[in-house]
Amino acid sequence: MPVGQETRERLVSKYPYCVSAAIPKESYALNQDVSTMATANVILVREGIPQEIVCQITRAILEHLDEFRSAHPSIKNFKPEMAVLGNVLPYHPGAERYFREIGLLE
């Protein structure tokens, strides 16, 4: 469903977990790309998982994106800096630690 620019901007400012997105025309044999809205992908973990384990999982994902891209086309255009866009819930301390280590968070 196409969503106009003004509406996308309003939604992003009100709901930080929303992001502007485009559905490539090739996805559904369309005549043009479709500007729309999406929500950020989220990996949820329990609070009780040790910080070091979550840090290692986060590192493994972001340092092996090519392998993830080959497994699923929905992350074809995903970049590490997108991992901290549209925060839905507070980051687990382990993920936050890794994001700080690589400069994605201050």
Q: Are residues 26 and 56 in the same domain?
A: no
CATH of the domain at 56: 3.40.190.10
Q: Is the pTM of this model over 0.95?
A: no
What are the tokens at 37? 């809205």
Q: What is the pLDDT of residue 60?
A: 96
pLDDT at 51: 97
Specify which residues 36 forms β-bridges with.
Answer: 21
The per-residue pLDDT for range 72-88, each reduced to its tens digit, is 777 877 889 888 887 77
**Residue 42 pLDDT level (bands cut at 50, 70, 90):** confident
Count: domains in the chain: 2
Pair (11, 49) in one structural domain: no
Residue-range definition of the domain harbouring residue 25: 1-39
Q: Where are the alpha helices (DSSP H) in 1-106?
A: 5-14, 51-63, 65-71, 93-101
Q: Are residues 23 and 50 in the same domain?
A: no
Q: Are 80 and 65 in contact (CB under 8 A)?
A: yes
Helix (H, G, I), strand (E, B) or coil at 75: helix
- Whether 13 and 7 have beta carbons less than 8 Å apart is answered as no
Per-residue confidence (pLDDT) for residue 96, from 0 to 100: 96
